[in-house]
Amino acid sequence: MLKAKILFVGPCESGKTVLANFLTESSDITEYNPTQGVRILEFENPHVTSNTKGTGCEFELWDCGGDPKFESCWPALMKDSHGVVIIFNADLPSHLKEIEMWYSCFVQQQFLQDAQCLLIAHHKPGSGSDKGHLTLSPPLSKLKLVHSNLEDDPEEIRLEFIKYLKSIINSVSESRDREEMSIIT
């Protein structure tokens, strides 16, 4: 059974927990309650299997609190992660600046490939789903960006997340195969 660890990171009040619950089919949260440190959700997705053996895959989704006061915990959270999803509120200009720091810290400093990172511009209920052009700085503009609006089109983000999980599992599977080959040879 392949296991993959994926971090949900981003500024405070961007919608990480709501999305994490939706995508893992966990409970709904109706009121805002800032995540303290981290919340770990374990789940399997029937649409994602290891391409080599068709076996199931387990995921750990680490929903990380966005408050800078938890920065001292970040190295522990990042350890052995296979992917990073950066979630931000597309309606807050300050978030566009903040996500550069999240990318630098959680992707670049961990030597993750850009393919292991997904950017989600989350639109909160009632914000209108303006999927207008977002101007992202150069390192971020190379990343896959998807918009999520759980009110208007919840299935779109679910399908994009499944695609992302499949790419993470392929990379975990390939890296495990390389490891096995290096032991044999």
Please give, one letter per residue, the 3-state secondary structure of 111-132.
CCCHHHEEEEEECCCCCCCCCC
For the record, the structure tokens of 3 come out as 């296991």
The whole-model pTM stands at 0.90
Residue-wise pLDDT tens digits, 58-69: 999 999 999 999
Residue 134 pLDDT exceeds 70: yes
Residue-wise pLDDT tens digits, 102-125: 999 999 999 999 999 999 999 887
Q: Could you tell me which residues come within 8 angstroms of residue 112 by beta carbon, excluding any fewer than 6 positions away? A: 81, 83, 84, 106
Contact status, residue 10 vs residue 16, Cβ threshold 8 Å: yes
- The pLDDT-based confidence of 131 (bands split at 50, 70, 90) is low
Quote the mean pLDDT of the chain: 88
- The pLDDT-based confidence of 132 (bands split at 50, 70, 90) is low
Give me the sheet containing 2-9, strands edge to edge. Answer: 38-49, 56-64, 2-9, 83-89, 117-122, 144-148
Residue 129 pLDDT exceeds 60: no
Rounded CA-CA distance 146/144 in Å is 7
pLDDT at residue 66, rounded to an integer: 93
Measured in whole angstroms, the distance separating CA 26 from the mean position of its chain's CA atoms is 16
Please determine, looking at this structure, whether the domain spanning 2-183 carries the CATH number 3.40.50.300: yes
Residue-wise pLDDT tens digits, 4-49: 999 999 999 999 999 999 999 887 666 678 888 899 999 988 778 7
Q: Could you tell me which residues come within 8 angstroms of residue 49 by beta carbon, excluding any fewer than 6 positions away? A: 55, 56, 57, 169
